[in-house]
Amino acid sequence: MIKVENLVKRYGSVTASNHLNCHFEKGKVTVILGGSGSGKSTLLRQLTGLEKPDSGSVYFEGMDLTTLPKKKIYEIRKKMGMLFQGSALFNYLNIFENIAFPLREHTKIADNVIKTIVTMKLEMVGLRGTENLMPSQLSGGMMKRVGLARAIVMDPKVIFYDEPTSGLDPISTGVIDKLIKDLNRALNITSIVVSHDIESCFRIADNIIILFYGDIIAQGTVEEIRNSEDLRVKQFINGEPEGPIPFTRTDKNYLDEILFD
C-alpha cells in the first residue's frame, strides 16, 4: 500500500529520517515505535505528503508522493484519514460540525446525508448523542474518539494515528486500542500508528517498525520483534535503562564515531 525508499530528511544538523526503507501492508496495522525525537512524526508527515523529504521516495499505491504536483497530492490525501498528536479539534465547532468538516470541505454531499454519515461514525466510536456538545465539554479520551470519527468520515483507505493514546489513562487507552483494531477490521483499512507505548503496540500491531534517532533499527511482525535477538530491540521492548541504546543524540553520535570511524 505504501512503500518508502531511501528516505532522508534533515533539519539543520539533525537527521530525522536517515535513509529509511520500509513498507506498510494493505489491511494491516503497522506501529511505528520509538522514543521521543526518534523521527516518528517526521516519518508520518512524509508518508502523508504533508512534508517533502530531502531525498528518497514515498510510494502510495505506486505513485511517488515526492514528485507529484500539490494538486494531485491534495486529491490523494482525501483517501487518507489522520488523527494528529493532540486531537486537533476545532474548539469553536460542536462535535457534529467537527466531524462533518471534511465532508463540507471536500464534497457536495447534501445536509441530510451528512447527518446520516456523522451519526454513523459517532456510533462507531461509541459517542452517539454527543453531536451538540463542544470539544471543551469532553474528556481527553472522548476527544480522541471524536478525532477518530472525523478521521474516518471520508471512508479513507489508510488512516494515520500520531500517538493516539498519549496522555490517556489505562482504560481509555484500552478503548482507543480496541477501536483502532476494530475499525481496521470492520472498514478493511490500512492503519499506521505512531506510538511509544510498547504494551499498546503489542495489543494492536500486525507489524512493527522501530525507529531510533532517525534510523530504523528493526522491522517485522509482532512475533519477529518479540523474538528479536538484537540487543537494542530487546532493550527497547523491555524498557531497560541499561543497554546498548544511548539515550541522547549526542550519545548516539559519540557511539557512531567510536564504532564506525
Ligand X SMILES: Nc1ncnc2c1ncn2[C@@H]1O[C@H](COP(=O)(O)OP(=O)(O)OP(=O)(O)O)[C@@H](O)[C@H]1O
Contact set with ligand X (CB under 6 A): 11, 14, 16, 34, 36-42, 196
Buried b (16+ CB within 10 A) or exposed e, 85-103: eebebeeeebbbbbbbbbb
* Calculated CA dihedral for residues 60, 63, 69, 71, nearest 10 degrees: -60
**Alpha carbon distance 94, 115 (integer Å):** 13
145 binds, among ligand X, Mg ion, none (CB under 5 to 8 A by kind): none
Least Cβ distance, residue 43 to ligand X (angstroms): 7
- Binders in 23-42 for Mg ion, by CB under 5 A: 41
**Alpha carbon distance 100, 12 (integer Å):** 39
Q: Does 130 bind Mg ion (CB under 5 A)?
A: no
Q: Does 165 bind Mg ion (CB under 5 A)?
A: no
Least Cβ distance, residue 195 to Mg ion (angstroms): 10
Report the candidate in 10, 47, 14, 20 with the shortest Cα–Cα distance to residue 211: 20
37 binds, among ligand X, Mg ion, none (CB under 5 to 8 A by kind): ligand X
196 binds, among ligand X, Mg ion, none (CB under 5 to 8 A by kind): ligand X
CB 220 within 8 A of CB 211: no
Q: How far is CA 139 from CA 142, 215, 228, in A?
A: 5, 35, 38
- Binders in 200-239 for Mg ion, by CB under 5 A: none
Least Cβ distance, residue 88 to ligand X (angstroms): 14
CB 33 within 8 A of CB 20: no
Complex with Mg ion: residue 41 or 200, whichever CB lies closer = 41
**How many residues of this chain bind Mg ion (CB under 5 A)?**
1
39 binds, among Mg ion, ligand X, none (CB under 5 to 8 A by kind): ligand X
Residues that bind Mg ion (CB under 5 A): 41
